[in-house]
């Protein structure tokens, strides 16, 4: 194992306390800290310390791919780390977004790569399914809920202009696409009046604070109303949500450990000042009802749990150890990236041990064999899935 140092993305919605506190730095931080990246994505690769200075994880993997990635991972994904581990810390809502599947990503990247200029939706040719595990109370919008429930909420706002959306939702799941399209393509000159009417009704009505919270930052964005079509999920520590390709979602607030296929392809429809492409978002969205967004954890062994996902790109385990008990051994395939979130642990593989305090990370090669974790604390282990 080797210590791993990840860069921090300073997106405007980030927290000024969560990542700093996790790493034991002064709070508040100088600016927003949204995501800690622990991987080898070209957009922000992590580094390891070497005798001649820091080396990016990309360089480390490229120099000796067989050792670091293992032949099964190379055969399946090529010479690249197929997953990216993050800490996500949201102090304000993120954009309404979805990610393409593998075929859409390849085609979209190839088409845009041929363009001479212009803003691009696809920055790489890979899909980006995601799993997020809450480190504390966290809120998110994840997947479409029953259209009948959404129609009741929208009707309760008493906004006559929403009649076309209600008519679409009356068709059930088959009407979701039309409902979303109607809202996201609402005439720009009429958007602020629509959101204002909905916000006024929500303040005095039964639909809690969601409209008011989103409209405060985006007073002329119809994505405020699209949010009412989604499941609002409140996670406790250790609970997780799974976001497959085509799933419309947005994190609202809170901190979690997130693992995903190593991609940065994001298609946005609203609630953001970044690039929005409604047409492309509508093309990749899956207009299906997601009855249960929360993924239950599954025990693996004493002190080890995982959250099963149906992709081979990654797996995530959480190992919990206590100082008065023997260590925990975990065998996972391929390369592995570790993050300590509680206490202090020592992690050993067949190469060398490392000691990780809270907020510290490490990386180990595929030929490192089983991991043994000792100490008193908690560590998340990202690896490839079953290949």
Average pLDDT over residues 276-281: 96
Average pLDDT over residues 133-150: 97
**Alpha carbon of 100 to those of 104, 130, 257: distances in Å?**
6, 12, 21
Q: Which of 7-11, 101-105, 180-184, 271-275 has the lowest mean pLDDT?
A: 271-275
Each residue's pLDDT tens digit, 61-78: 999 999 999 999 999 999
Catalytic residue among 145, 181, 191, 268: 268
Angle in degrees, CA 240, 101, 260, rounded to 5: 35
Q: Has 268 been annotated as catalytic?
A: yes
- H or E segment and range at residue 214: helix 210-217
Each residue's pLDDT tens digit, 340-383: 999 999 999 999 999 999 999 999 999 999 999 999 999 999 99
Q: How far apart are CA 134 and CA 11, in angstroms?
A: 19
Instruction: Give the pLDDT score at 145.
Output: 96
For residue 198 the two structure tokens come to 């909905």
Rounded to two decimals, the pTM is: 0.95
Instruction: Give the pLDDT score at 117.
Output: 66
Instruction: Give the pLDDT score at 208.
Output: 64
SS3 sequence, 334-364? CCEEEEEEEEEEEEECCCCEEEECCCCEEEE
For residue 333 the two structure tokens come to 């395939």
| Strands in 116-266 per DSSP E | 130-134, 138-144, 230-235, 240-243, 249-261
Instruction: Give the pLDDT score at 120.
Output: 85
Average pLDDT over residues 187-211: 87
- The answer to whether the beta carbons of residues 145 and 173 sit under 8 Å apart is no
3-state secondary structure of 2: strand
Q: How far apart are CA 154 and CA 206, in angstroms?
A: 11
- The answer to whether the beta carbons of residues 32 and 15 sit under 8 Å apart is yes
């Amino acid at each position: 194992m080797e210590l791993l140092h990840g860069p921090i993305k300073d997106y405007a919605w980030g927290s000024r306390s969560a990542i700093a506190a996790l790493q034991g730095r002064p709070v508040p931080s100088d600016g927003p800290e949204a995501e800690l990246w622990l991987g080898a994505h070209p957009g922000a690769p992590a580094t390891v310390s070497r005798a001649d200075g820091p080396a990016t994880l990309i360089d480390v993997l490229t120099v000796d791919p067989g050792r670091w990635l293992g032949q099964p991972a190379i055969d399946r994904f090529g010479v690249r780390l197929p997953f990216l581990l993050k800490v996500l810390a949201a102090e304000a809502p993120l954009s309404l977004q979805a990610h393409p599947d593998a075929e859409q990503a390849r085609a979209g990247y190839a088409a845009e790569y041929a363009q001479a200029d212009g803003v691009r939706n696809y920055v790489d040719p890979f899909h980006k399914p995601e799993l997020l595990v809450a480190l504390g109370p966290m809120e998110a919008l994840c997947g479409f809920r029953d259209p009948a429930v959404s129609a009741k909420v929208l009707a309760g706002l008493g906004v006559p202009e929403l009649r076309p959306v209600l008519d679409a939702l009356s068709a059930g799941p088959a009407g979701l696409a039309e409902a979303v399209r109607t809202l996201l393509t609402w005439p720009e000159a009429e958007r602020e009046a629509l959101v204002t009417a909905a916000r006024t009704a929500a303040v005095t009505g039964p639909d809690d604070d969601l409209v008011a919270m989103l409209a405060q930052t985006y007073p002329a964005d119809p994505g405020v109303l699209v949010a009412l079509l989604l499941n609002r999920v409140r996670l406790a520590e250790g609970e997780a949500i799974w976001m497959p390709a085509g799933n419309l979602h947005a994190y609202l607030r809170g901190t979690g450990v997130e693992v995903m296929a190593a991609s940065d392809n994001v298609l946005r429809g609203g609630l953001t000042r970044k690039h929005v492409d409604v047409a492309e978002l509508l093309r990749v969205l899956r207009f299906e009802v997601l009855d249960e967004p929360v993924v239950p954890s599954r025990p693996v062994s004493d002190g080890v749990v995982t959250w099963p996902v149906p992709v081979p790109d990654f797996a995530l385990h959480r190992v919990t150890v206590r100082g008065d008990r023997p260590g925990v051994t975990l065998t996972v395939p391929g390369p592995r990236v570790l993050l300590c979130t509680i206490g202090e642990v020592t992690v050993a593989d067949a190469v060398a041990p490392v000691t990780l305090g809270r907020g510290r990370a490490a990386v180990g090669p595929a030929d490192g064999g089983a991991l043994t974790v000792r100490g008193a604390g908690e560590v998340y282990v990202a690896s490839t899935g079953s290949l």
